[in-house]
Structure formats: C-alpha cells, structure tokens
Amino acid sequence: MRFRKKHVCCMQLVLFWLGDVSFSEVHAGPMALSADWTYQDSSERAGHLAEAYTADYSARHDLTELMSMDTTLRATSRSDFDSTRQNVIPSLSYLINNDIFFFNLSGTANEEFSDSVHGDRSNRSLAANWNSAWGRQVWWLPGVNLNFNQNWQQDSLTPSLLDAESTNQGASLDWDLLLARVFYRYNTSESSNQIFGNEHQTKDQLARIETDASFWQGKGSVSLSQQIANVKTDSLARVVGGFALLPVSVSAYHGEAVPNPVTLSVNGALTDGDRDGVAVTVNNPVHPMNIGLRINFQQIDRIYLYTETALSTAISAQFTWDLYTSNNNIDWVLVQTSISGVYNTFEKRFEFVIPPQVKEFVKLVAVNDPAITAVNFTEIEAFQAIAASSSTVALNNTYDTYQTNASMNLQLRSDLQLTSNVAYMKNENSAGYDMTSTGVSSGLSWNPNPDWSVRVSGNQNSRQRTESIDDETRGYGVSVGFPTIPSVDSMVGVTLSEYYEGVTKTSISHNYTLQFIAELYRDLNGRLNFNVTQSDNLLYDNQAETVSTRVGLIARLVPGLVADWSIMVSDTSGQGSTIASDAIMTWRFTDILALRGNINGSWGVDDATTASASVDVGLTDTMQLSLTQRREFAPETSNISAIDWRWSITRYLSMMTSGAILWGGVSDEWNVVSRVNTRFTNF
C-alpha cells in the first residue's frame, strides 16, 4: 500500500507559471501588502509582541479562447511569543472550458520555514478534475465526472514528526432518463502516516436510482429511491506500547446547554480535516459546551480534540470534561466524570483515554472551562485501540448498505392533505455489528380556513442489531391551531411516545402543550407557553412529571428603547422547582450611542444570578468604543470588566485595543490585546 513518490510537482508548476507568461495575454490582479502588529499581555503569560506580514499576487493568463491559467502567490512572515514562521504559497490552475468538457488541473504548495520545535514544514498537493459539458447540447447523454488528488506533508526534523501522503481518485456518472435518474460513483483512496506507522486504503461504490410521478392532475405525487453502497477498507497500524490506534469514521455534533438532556446539532467543520479553521468556541461556564460524535456502534476508546492555537498549561488545566453516551441523541447517560484528558502542546490537542464505547453517540461536556479566555476548537478524531503483541495490526472490513425510501403526498381536498413516508435501511458490517432499521411516518393536515389548522400524525421506527436487543419507538400526535380573539393566536398539542426493547414496552411519555402569541398593544407583544411532560419508566417503575410555564413580553417603550423580559417556572417531581428569568433592555439614543442592560438568574436546584451592562459609543465616524461590566452574584461572586476600542484611521490603516479583567472572585485574571493593521492594494 505504500506509495512514496517524492515529486517536485510544485516546483515544476512554478517554472511552468513563469514560462507561460511570455506567450499569453496576462490580466494581472492587484498586489496586496498587509502588516499586523499585535501586543498581548495577561495574568497567565508575560507580554509579547506578535508581527505578521503578508504579500499577495494573482494573475490570469488567457492562452486561447477556451484555455486559461490562474496563478497566485502568497508570502507571509509571522513572529510570535516563541517562534518565527515564514510561508511561501504558490498555486497554479490550468483550465479548459468548451462545449464538450470542463477540465481543471491545479497544484498548490505551502512551504513553511520556522525556528520553532516543529521545524520547517512542507504541504504540497496536486488535483485534477474533469466534468462533461455535453449535456448542454445533448440532453440525453449522461453527465460524467473524473477526479484525482494527491497530497504530501513533511517536516525537516530528525527524526521526523510529520511524514504523510494521501491519494484520492474516482469517477461518477449521473444520467437523467426522464422516467428515472441513475447515479453511480466509484472512489479509491490511499493514505499513509510514516510517523505512526499507519496505512489505510478504501474502495467505495455507490449506486442509486430514483423516480417520481404525479397524478390526479397534480393533486397526488409519489417518489421512490433505491440505493446500494459498498465500502471496503484495509488498515495497517504500528503497535506502540502494546496498542495500535486505528482511526474510526465518525460525524461530529455540538450543542451549548446543560449536560442532560440536550439534542446536539451536526457540525461538519469538526471533521473536515482542517485543523486551522474554527469549528466550535468554548467560553461559557454557565452553559457547558457539548462536543459529540456519532460513531454508529463502532468501538472507540481514544478521542483527540484539536485547538486553534497551543494552550498554556494554566489555560488547559482549567478544563474539566465528562463523558456521556446515547442511542438516540436525546436520552444521555453519564459514563464517567472528569475523564482522563492530557493536553499535548506540540500537537495542539486534548488526548482522552476513555472506557471502550459501542454506542450510536458519545459526547464530551466541558463542565469547567476558562472563564475569561475563549478557546477555539478545530477538529476531532476518534480511534480504536487494539492490544497486540506483534509489531503491526491489520484490519479488513467490508461495509454494505441497502436503502429504500418512498413517499406519497395527496391533496384530498383543497383544505385536506395527506403525507406518508417509508424508509428501510440494512447495514452489513463484516468486522462489526449488522443493523436493520425501518421507519414509517404519516400525517393528515386540515386547514378549513386561514386561521384554523388541525394536524394528526404518527410514526414508528424500529432497529434490529446483531448481539443486541431490538428496539422500537412509536409516536402519535395531535395539534390544533386556532384564534382565541382577533389579536391572539393559539395552539394546543398532545404527543405520545412509546419505547420498546424486544416485545417489552420499557417506557412511555406524554407531552401536553398550550401556546398563546398575542399582540397586546401596537408596541407590546406577549407569549405564553404551558407544557406538561409525563414519563414512566416501566422497566424500573419510575415515574416523573415536569410542569413548566414560560411568559415573555417584548415592548417598544419609546423610539429606540426595546425591553425584552421572560420568566419560566418549572417543577419536576423528585427534583423540586426552578425559576429562571431574563430581562434585556436596549436603548439606542442616536446613531452614535447605545446602551444595553441584561439581568438573568435561576433559582431552585442551582442558584445563579448574573447582571451586565454595556455602552457602545461612536466617538467619530471612524472610531467606536464599547464598555461592558458583568457581575455574577451566584453561585460565586465575581466581576468581569471589558473594553473594546476600534479606530479605522484610513482605508489602509486601523487600530484596536481590547481588554478584560476578572476580579472579586476566587482569583483575579486579566488580559489585554492591542493591534495595528495596515493594508495596501493596487500595486
């Protein structure tokens, strides 16, 4: 599987770029020069000055009417607290665009020279993409795509700490046959990391056919799709310390809320391979950040979580993480508190060793994080640690997926609509668990007039997994929307959910909702939500009931002054009552002065009260000043004072200073950042 070919492709691309200028019409873009000086000082790190200089150049060369070439060159220099880095990044794209096809061949190099412990680094890539264009002339011909990509990464250290290669290539066909649409894709990928001794090869195929039709003069429609996928993987990992780490394919999720319960949202930026782009920011100890993984019942016992910049020991030590698991992204079970997590400054990542987990979802909850310092996370990885006495471990796997989807939509009358969906999926995993899932949902909507609406719905989802008990979820719901009085809209709804393990009903829950939205006066809107949730765990004979009421008002008191107030009262059996209130007032006197005040608190199980005030002032047309004061009264008393000043002196020169201090609590912390930025173009 090893495919080490140290090409000098990027040097050849640069020479080709220099050579092509003499025989093409050149449309040179502007050259941009910029400089940035940043001074940072804090209670955790001594003051230091960071400098950054960047030069950008781009040009387009029209070789013929159908061929062109785009070239760019970027040079950067950065000096920070403990290192100086220079980067030279040339790129070249060769394009052909005609009535038959579109072709793009591109190459990019990122050569980094550094005096840090990382040494010099090189990242080079070559990509080619071919797309058919004949569909614009002959509609019945299939669309074809061919793609190829190679990437090399190395450093200058001895022994090396970075030596990786990857190759991806594939082809796809997309054919519209009027009665049906056919899609087929074949991809292969190879990657190797010589530092960790890992090699990975994947071959995947996917075929899909889909069709749809309408009837009853457009009042009814049906759609059907069938998809088959086959993925074969071969992995080889070096054994270090008795274990080999094999990467696990995952999708990432996140959500900011209390640890349990919370439904996480998909976050593709955490698994896109970009360790520089920010995906999640953690800076709210009151509402802990949840960072989750969907592992689809694959075993994992190592998690790497990368940060944008290397954290100091004082910052990384302030994090405390808890581990949760779930099979539905709704009901979470605490597995372990304060899991073992070591911060690797060199790799800029937290490394977690967790008990082996074979669930659908796992998540890390930052129950404690730095109160005054925002920390950006960029990427997350999961691994399975395999114990072995040999020097390497090989793992081969074949993953087959069969998926069928069907839907129907019927307009029975002008005011009556029926929808129905059926989904079937079967997964066969040669090295893991097989699973079959079936889902059916249907809904009937009745809108007798614009003010009234009635909807009845039902769904059933079942899963069968090898070496596991089958489970099934059933849900039923009714909702009615109606006007109480001309200025008040109302909605009442009832849902019932049942959960089965095998043939045994293990839990049941009811939810009752009543909602009012009212325009009380021209400048006063109100909202009332009343909710009752009753759950019964039949397996352990546990019952729970939560009753909550939320009232909210939004008032425009005078021009520019808006008040937003809400209060929620909830009572959960066995846990007591909780009251939470939030009040926000924003007053924009003029275009240059605005005030904002906020107070929120919760009382009951855990008391917490916070108040804040801010002033935004436009000192001049080009200068803005913002002052913020925040005080936390409970559970511990502390204060945060912050200032932010920005000045756009000219279109080429700007300045800013920001700072914050945490005081009056257990310990005092502070930081300050000042920056001067200049930018010139059209050289």
> Token match 């092509």: residue?
20
Q: Where are the alpha helices (DSSP H) in 248-322?
A: 313-316
Q: What is the mean pLDDT of each run of 10 residues along the chain (683 residues)?
A: 42 43 58 90 82 92 90 90 85 94 94 80 93 87 95 87 91 93 96 85 95 92 96 87 82 70 81 81 75 87 90 86 85 85 88 90 87 84 87 86 96 94 92 87 92 93 84 94 85 93 88 92 91 86 88 90 92 82 89 90 80 92 93 82 94 92 81 91 62
Ramachandran angles phi, psi of 10, nearest 5°: -70, -35
DSSP state for residue 240 in the 8-state scheme? B
Q: Strand, coil or helix: what is 455?
A: strand
- Residue span(s) of the chain under CATH 2.60.120.260 come to 246-387
Alpha carbons 439 and 461: distance in angstroms, whole number: 4
Q: Which pLDDT score, from 0 to 100, does residue 271 have?
A: 87
User: What one-letter code names the amino acid at 663?
Assistant: W
Alpha carbons 24 and 28: distance in angstroms, whole number: 12
Bridge pairing between strands 67-79 and 48-62? antiparallel
DSSP state for residue 19 in the 8-state scheme? H
333 with 322: CB under 8 angstroms? Answer: no
Ramachandran angles phi, psi of 219, nearest 5°: -80, -15
Alpha carbons 439 and 480: distance in angstroms, whole number: 25
CA 627-633-638 angle, 5° bins: 60
CA 461-467-472 angle, 5° bins: 15
Compute CA distances 288 → 200, 256, 319, 350, 371, whole Å: 36, 6, 11, 17, 11
Alpha carbons 630 and 613: distance in angstroms, whole number: 7
Alpha carbons 552 and 567: distance in angstroms, whole number: 7
Alpha carbons 248 and 200: distance in angstroms, whole number: 11
Q: Which pLDDT score, from 0 to 100, does residue 28 have?
A: 63
Bridge pairing between strands 504-521 and 524-537? antiparallel
Residues in the chain: 683
Q: In what order do the strands lie in the sheet with 289-294?
A: 265-266, 251-256, 289-294, 361-368, 320-326, 333-336
Kindly tell me the burial class for residue 375, based on how many C-beta atoms sit within 10 Å of its own C-beta (0-12, 13-18, 19 or more): buried
Write the pLDDT tens digit of every residue in 645-677.
999 999 889 999 999 998 877 778 888 999 999
257 with 287: CB under 8 angstroms? Answer: yes
Alpha carbons 485 and 481: distance in angstroms, whole number: 13
163 with 119: CB under 8 angstroms? Answer: no
Alpha carbons 45 and 346: distance in angstroms, whole number: 18
What's 246-387's CATH class?
A: mainly beta
User: What one-letter code names the amino acid at 498?
Assistant: E
- Secondary element (H or E) of residue 125: strand 121-132
Q: Which pLDDT score, from 0 to 100, does residue 547 have?
A: 92
Prior bond to 90 cis, omega within 30?
A: no
